[in-house]
């Protein structure tokens, strides 16, 4: 983004938050669509710009109510505190539409949570198992800049979501 024209920077930072499918009806309001995140990461040529963008995504993440920050919702294996709440659409008992809420006390991790939620929220439980989120992070140029602790935490978040989805498939 170093050599980007000022008008292009305005367009990048002034993009409205969009919604995917039925997600605006469920508990995913405020998530940036995955396609937009991928496009923006492709546009950013510097790792510092990408990390700034990740932090910005975290800032847009809705605040999780204190009552949801419980030991049951805490993700084990993360150095920072991370909480995930799972919602399953009751309309299709055998293969529900899954949505997730998340929170972290660390800025970069909160941004990673926002990306993870954009990857998985609004998907059928059966589809979640086939999503290679680490590959998506790698293609966005994010995985190689994570510390070992953050990468382990990311894996723990992904595993938690996949485990939750597997329990829902009937």
Q: Alpha helix (H) ranges present in 14-147? A: 34-43, 47-60, 107-120, 125-128, 133-139
- Given 34, 41, 78, 140, which residue is catalytic? 78
Token digits of residue 18 = 């969009």
Task: Report the half-sphere exposure of 16 (CA within 13 A, side-chain side).
Answer: 2
Is residue 104 within 8 A of residue 54, CB to CB? The reply is no
Is residue 41 annotated as part of the catalytic site, yes or no?
A: no
Catalytic residue ranges: 78
């Amino acid at each position: 983004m170093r050599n980007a024209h000022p008008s292009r920077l305005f367009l990048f930072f002034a993009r409205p938050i969009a919604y995917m499918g039925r997600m605006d009806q469920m508990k995913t309001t405020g998530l940036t669509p995955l396609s937009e995140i991928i496009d923006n990461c492709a546009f950013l040529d510097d790792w510092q710009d990408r990390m700034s963008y990740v932090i910005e995504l975290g800032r847009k993440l809705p605040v999780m109510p204190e009552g949801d920050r419980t030991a049951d919702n805490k993700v084990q294996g993360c150095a920072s505190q991370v909480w995930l709440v799972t919602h399953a659409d009751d309309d299709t008992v055998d293969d529900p539409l899954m949505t997730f809420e998340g929170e972290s006390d660390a800025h970069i991790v909160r941004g990673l949570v926002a990306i993870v939620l954009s990857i998985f929220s609004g998907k059928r439980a059966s589809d979640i198992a086939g999503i290679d989120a680490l590959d998506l992070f790698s293609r966005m140029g994010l995985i190689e800049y994570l510390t070992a602790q953050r990468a382990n935490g990311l894996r723990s978040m992904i595993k938690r979501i996949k485990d939750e989805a597997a329990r829902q498939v009937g």
